[in-house]
Structure 1
Amino acid sequence: MSVKTIEELFVHELSDIYSAEKQLTKALPRLARAADHPALAEGFTNHLAETQGQIERIDQIVEILGIRLKRIKCAAMEGLIEEGKEVIDSIEAGPLRDAALIGGAQKVEHYEIAAYGTLAALAKQLGYDQALPLLLETLEEEKATDIKLTKLAEQGGNQRAAREAKAA
């Protein structure tokens, strides 16, 4: 990665999150199938549609700014998705797997929150006034998804896993 200007950093970071979102669209259906609790499966399915909208926003930013994204693969998202595969392969379907899936999904959301927060700060610094609202909209969606995942965990996901462990 050879980045020499703040503009190049913005393009690199936008390219990275674009790759991350694309990878996530492939992983979410698998996570939905692996979830035992219907609300968690529905959450993954709903987030897929939201993620596709976020990709469309990145496309809008590219068009507005007249930039070209770099062809890179987001290694961070690749690792997070691999962790999710390991959870699915190593934990039997049920409340414990759901608790692990929620934790993994929150890691993804926290990564995305950091990425979009950084992009929004860069866009503000660069005066990309048309791109900034699009980035902030996605940032708020990612924060909202994180809150939903926390509520799923607190409203029974982790308790069911704990009860199952005591019963075993």
Structure 2
Amino acid sequence: MIAPDPRDVDVVELVIPARPEIVSVARLVVGAAVAMDPTFDEERSADLRLAASEACTNAIEAQLARRNAADADKPIVLRCELGPESIVLTVQDHGGGFDPDSLPDRPEVTDPARLDHEGGLGIPLIRLLSDELEFRPTPGGTTVVMTFGPDPVSGRIDG
């Protein structure tokens, strides 16, 4: 994908403490940002809000697990870049980082057998909802980069 001209990108950034009760604020901010782009309908906006919520929740949980680490109280940064053809959400944490390839094998999100497994839905849901997903190691944590076009991806869960 070719990077858009920075002059064609609107950026909304939210810096939040690593507290679960703040995730609803992140969803609201992403919803308001997505509403600025008329090519994204309400259904696609819901995809972005859910992905942002899951990524922020994972970031918060990772940071809370490191309560005694020097950077455990650093904020989480949610960034929403509205480009001419896509919206890129990034969530940066200080949770110590992780290897996405080391996640346990579980049934697909759409498989009824998934109901037998507690937790671990965040990253599979984000993969399902986004057009592109990337995990970038950063000093002391991870940055999750999610790219969304206005049209839902083919693997979308229909209500």
Structure (1/2) with the larger helix percentage: 1
**Same fold flag (TM > 0.5):** no
TM-score w.r.t. the length of structure 1 is 0.37
Q: Larger Rg: 1 or 2?
A: 1
